[in-house]
Structure 1
Amino acid sequence: MRASRLVSLLLLLQNRGRMTAQELAATLEVSIRTVYRDVDALSASGVPVYAERGPAGGYRLLDGYRTRLTGMTAEEAEALFLVGVPGPAGELGLGSVLAAAELKLRAALPAELADRGGRIRQRFHLDAPTWFREPEPTPHLAALAHAVWSDRQVRVRYRRWRTPREVERTLAPLGLVLKAGRWYLVATVDGQARTYRVGAILELTVLDEPADRPDGFDLARCWQEHADRYEQGVYRAEARVRMTVSALESMPHVFPPAMSRAARAAAGEPDADGWLLTTVPIESVRHGHTELLKLGAEVEVLAPAELRERFTATARRLAALYPAGGG
């Protein structure tokens, strides 16, 4: 365990330059006293690590020193080959780069680790898109990725769901996120971080103006906060329903996760006939009608009245299409 930590400490100093004992302790999740001991151990083993005093001080390696030691375990080598995602990398214009990096990694690794890495690529595959959805064309993705990487602003013509349907915006890109097979751009406009579906961008121009990144910006945290707000804000109404136990159990397979989770959490005890009461979050009456129809005759809408009336009208039309006796 300590040997692995010493390698991590060495690579941290090699990749980041000067780091304080507090920074090293926080990154390695150890005490500052442990950092002191580890630095002494590295120095005793011949690694040219030294301390700089003063407010801007810290530990650093002698200029020009680099180690070829990776300390890579078999599991780490396997994980590196697992993270390669050829489809998304190709969409970003990095397919050939990823392939070249994998070849170099194979060449640099001992034969045993290279073989283990190759085996995992033959046994595990990541298919990002969801079922029953065609890939979304993203002709501007590669140019957008370049703008993100080079911190350049972009001007876009964007199609959205509300009127006016097409708008123009000047954005400061912060990052790209692949979610369920669709690419999203996180960018600031008027100082606010917002999210845009890349497939809805109709035109894109990369500008010469720099895109300023907020201090301490964390793309993963920003995306998670956006996803939480979206999930909480999109369901603005509720439907009180009566459904069978089998319908409730099938909800995770046919409903969005937030709807399924809430319905299962609110479900009461089933009666003798296997029916129970629960509450399902919905975006609107129209949305609730579309979603709950998936459960067929195993759900009865009790409220709101407008939604129940829609189901009544649908049932009557279906009865007219399929009269008793098949006539």
Structure 2
Amino acid sequence: MRASRLLSILLLLQTRGRLTARQLADILEVSVRTIYRDVEALHAAGVPLFGDAGPAGGYQLVDGYRTRLTGMTPGEAEALFLAGMPGPAAELGLGEVVAAAQLKIQAALPAEMRERATRIQERFHLDAHGWYHDGDHSPHLAALADAVWNQRRVRIRYHRWKEPVEVTRDLDPYAVVLKGGKWYLVGHGDDQIRTYRVHKVVGLTVLDATFERPRDFDLGAYWRSFLQEFRTRLYRSEAVVRVSPPGVLRMRELMSAAVVDSMDQTATCPDEEGWVTAVVPIESLDHAQSEFMRLGSMVEVLKPCELRERLQATARDLAEMYLS
């Protein structure tokens, strides 16, 4: 375990340059004291590693030093090929690059590892798109990804749901994220970081100006925080519903994880017909009406009264339409 961590420290410094003991400890999920001991062990092994004290200090390797300890284990080779998603890579304009890189890596692997990597590709396939959506198709995605990579400032024309529906923003593009088959741009502008749906970018100009990406920006942490805030804003009310056994299964297929979790946690014991009563979160009356209409007679809304009345009116309209 320690040997693997020492190698990780060496490769981190080789690929990222100067890193503090705290940064190394956070990445490797160990204590700072453990990093101090590991650095001493690397010194004793003759690794040309030095550190500077102070706010701008940290550890780094002597210029020009490169480790040859970069061999992959069978598990690492398998994981690399499992992580290759040709669909999203192609959308970013990297499809051919990813395919070529995988071919080169595969050719360089020993015969046994090459066979295991091939087996992974034959047996596992990752599809990032949802069942009911083929994903976004934006003509600006590849250019945005290139601007993110090269730290080029961009000017976007963005279509949003509120007035004014079309706005112009100058942004420092920090990242692009694929979520549920949809691409999102994380960008800094007007002294704050915001998330934009790439599909709604209707115009893009890559500017000559560049920007410095903040060293302390953690994309994973930002995205987790954004999702939590989004879910908190999303569900503003609750509905009490009766759901049939087939409806419970259908809700698991169609509804969000928050709705399904709430149903599981609040569902009563089944009645004589097998129906359960549960409390589920809803976004708005309009959205809830369309969501529950998809379940037809497999669900009955008990509360709120306004939502129940809307569904009653829709049911009457449908009956009139189809029974006349």
Normalised-by-shorter TM-score class: 0.7 to 0.9
Per the TM alignment, residue 209 of structure 1 is displaced from its structure 2 partner at its CA by: 2.3
Contact 1:49 1:59 in 2 (8 A): no
Tell me which residue corresponds to 1:138: 138
Contact 1:236 1:283 in 2 (8 A): yes
Tell me which residue corresponds to 1:192: 192
Tell me which residue corresponds to 1:165: 165
Amino acid at match of 1:63: D
In structure 2, do the counterparts of structure 1 residues 271 and 103 end up closer, same or farther at CA, with 3 Å as the change threshold? Answer: closer
Per the TM alignment, residue 142 of structure 1 is displaced from its structure 2 partner at its CA by: 1.2
**TM alignment of 1:86-101, pairs within 5 A:** 86-101=86-101
Tell me which residue corresponds to 1:275: 275
Q: 1:103 & 1:249 partners in 2: Cα distance?
A: 42
Q: What SS does the corresponding residue of 1:184 show, helix, strand or coil? A: strand
Deviation string, structure 1 residues 181-213 (Cα, Å, up to 9, x no partner) = 111101122112111111111110011223343
Contact 1:130 1:180 in 2 (8 A): yes
Count residues in correspondence: 323
Q: What SS does the corresponding residue of 1:97 show, helix, strand or coil? A: helix
Contact 1:263 1:281 in 2 (8 A): no
Contact 1:7 1:71 in 2 (8 A): no
In structure 2, do the counterparts of structure 1 residues 175 and 267 end up closer, same or farther at CA, with 3 Å as the change threshold? Answer: same
Q: 1:54 & 1:256 partners in 2: Cα distance?
A: 49
TM superposition score normalised by structure 1: 0.87
Tell me which residue corresponds to 1:255: 255
Amino acid at match of 1:248: V
Structure 1 position 49 matched with structure 2 position 42 = no
Tell me which residue corresponds to 2:307: 307
Amino acid at match of 1:183: W
Per the TM alignment, residue 169 of structure 1 is displaced from its structure 2 partner at its CA by: 1.7
Contact 1:155 1:168 in 2 (8 A): yes
In structure 2, do the counterparts of structure 1 residues 292 and 53 end up closer, same or farther at CA, with 3 Å as the change threshold? Answer: closer
Q: 1:117 & 1:40 partners in 2: Cα distance?
A: 37
Q: What SS does the corresponding residue of 2:69 show, helix, strand or coil? A: coil
Per the TM alignment, residue 105 of structure 1 is displaced from its structure 2 partner at its CA by: 1.9
In structure 2, do the counterparts of structure 1 residues 285 and 26 end up closer, same or farther at CA, with 3 Å as the change threshold? Answer: closer
- Which consecutive unaligned segments of at least 5 residues does structure 1 have? none
Q: 1:239 & 1:31 partners in 2: Cα distance?
A: 47
Per the TM alignment, residue 92 of structure 1 is displaced from its structure 2 partner at its CA by: 1.2
Contact 1:93 1:142 in 2 (8 A): yes
Per the TM alignment, residue 134 of structure 1 is displaced from its structure 2 partner at its CA by: 3.5
Tell me which residue corresponds to 2:286: 286
In structure 2, do the counterparts of structure 1 residues 319 and 159 end up closer, same or farther at CA, with 3 Å as the change threshold? Answer: same
Contact 2:50 2:62 in 1 (8 A): no
Q: Could you list the runs of 4 or more consecutive aligned residues of structure 1 that deviate by over 6 angstroms after TM superposition?
A: none
Q: Compare 239-248 and 132-141 and name the one that shifted more.
A: 239-248
Deviation string, structure 1 residues 131-167 (Cα, Å, up to 9, x no partner) = 1323422101111111111222211111112232222
Per the TM alignment, residue 18 of structure 1 is displaced from its structure 2 partner at its CA by: 4.4
Contact 1:241 1:302 in 2 (8 A): yes
Q: What SS does the corresponding residue of 1:69 show, helix, strand or coil? A: coil
Q: Compare 129-138 and 188-197 and name the one that shifted more.
A: 129-138
Amino acid at match of 1:49: P
Amino acid at match of 2:244: T
Tell me which residue corresponds to 1:117: 117
In structure 2, do the counterparts of structure 1 residues 54 and 65 end up closer, same or farther at CA, with 3 Å as the change threshold? Answer: same
Contact 2:134 2:181 in 1 (8 A): no
Q: 2:60 & 2:262 partners in 1: Cα distance?
A: 52
Q: Percent same amino acid among aligned pairs?
A: 54
Q: What SS does the corresponding residue of 2:127 show, helix, strand or coil? A: coil
In structure 2, do the counterparts of structure 1 residues 209 and 21 end up closer, same or farther at CA, with 3 Å as the change threshold? Answer: closer
Q: 2:258 & 2:68 partners in 1: Cα distance?
A: 48
Deviation string, structure 1 residues 248-277 (Cα, Å, up to 9, x no partner) = 343111212222222332222233332332
Q: 1:132 & 1:284 partners in 2: Cα distance?
A: 21
